[in-house]
Structure 1
């Protein structure tokens, strides 16, 4: 029969293994435009056997409830966690979004769509300025530079149209026809 001492040692090893993943998530979560502390929060909720309240998160991480609220809001915005309801519990409960593909897709779509639209707008404004200058300039070298700049901007514009098509693949889910989700064949779940 296992002793309480062995249980404590194995529990510590379990926490050490979990912390390894949580540390790496916290280091790389900036790719989702999320702070490392929210990354640690995500890892804590990820390994929780049950949905957690803000109070439970605060206690687990030794951080203020306000920090937990801010962190959970950013994770909700990124669709990395979801609010759940349980009968008889009045406080908000949170659990990790089970579909990592959905979380990544939402973050990718939001960040890249915004950046693409801003860059396309800047390209159009710059081209308009260059067309106007080309009509007004009397200098051949300036005109030649303008033509070169317009060519460069047109290539950039082509790239952003392509990126818009890539974003659409994520929005429609067609990306998974090209790059299928990995599945855990032993359980039939996505991996």
Structure 2
């Protein structure tokens, strides 16, 4: 950092390191490895895009590890690949809108879960309804089927609700229900 005393730079780096480590540790909530979380934290404080070589040097990790981590972050829309005039290397920067990052991450993960679970639930529901229709006279069987069918219908209702929640995140309507906080103009 140019123009800043060594003592001030040390204080800034200490504060940044604390935040980077916190981000890295919290990323496991999202199923992201600590090293990829630390990479995201490192990139958060950059004021310009970074190449894989720069990331590897800053984190003292191999280019292969950086490539794997950055691919994960790009797939989750947490990092964007950017083009810079005169550079032949791929460069990346953090998505600065954490609200959007959160929404994108959960939309991707939840949408997949909703689709998989609804597919399984609907297939099972169909099979149980078919079994029920074939054996209407078997009361014990019908009791079991009614109970399972009710549970499956409750689960389907939940996943349909979750699908609507995902839609509100995707469209941005969620921010009408839970508005974003505005960044204060003054320093804390």
Specify the SS of the correspondent of 1:70. helix
Deviation string 1:87-118 (CA, Å, 9 cap, x unpaired) is 22221221111111111111111110110111
Q: Residue in 2 aligned with 1:173? A: 172
Q: Displacement of 1:8 after TM fit? A: 3.0
Q: Residue in 2 aligned with 1:3? A: none
Deviation string 1:37-57 (CA, Å, 9 cap, x unpaired) is 111111111112322111110
Q: TM-score scaled by structure 2?
A: 0.89
Deviation string 1:9-51 (CA, Å, 9 cap, x unpaired) is 3323322211211112111213333221111111111112322
CA distance in 1, matches of 2:48, 2:23: 20
1:21–1:43 contact (8 Å) kept in structure 2: yes
RMSD: 1.7
Q: Residue in 1 aligned with 2:111? A: 113
Q: Residue in 2 aligned with 1:91? A: 89
Aligned residue pairs, count: 182
CA distance in 2, matches of 1:145, 1:117: 26
| Comparing 12-21 and 57-66, the one that deviates more | 12-21
Unmatched 5+ residue regions in structure 1? 1-5
Q: Residue in 2 aligned with 1:28? A: 26
1:32–1:78 contact (8 Å) kept in structure 2: no
> Which residue, 67, 70, 76 being the options, matches 2:68?
70
| Comparing 159-168 and 126-135, the one that deviates more | 126-135
| Comparing 26-35 and 102-111, the one that deviates more | 26-35
> Which residue, 7, 10, 14 being the options, matches 2:8?
10
1:127–1:150 contact (8 Å) kept in structure 2: yes
Q: Residue in 2 aligned with 1:161? A: 160
Q: Residue in 2 aligned with 1:38? A: 36
Deviation string 1:119-157 (CA, Å, 9 cap, x unpaired) is 111111111221122234453222101101111111111
CA distance in 2, matches of 1:154, 1:163: 14
Unmatched 5+ residue regions in structure 2? none
Q: Residue in 2 aligned with 1:184? A: 183
Q: Displacement of 1:184 after TM fit? A: 1.4
Deviation string 1:68-97 (CA, Å, 9 cap, x unpaired) is 111111111111111222222221221111
CA distance in 2, matches of 1:167, 1:66: 34
CA distance in 1, matches of 2:129, 2:84: 61
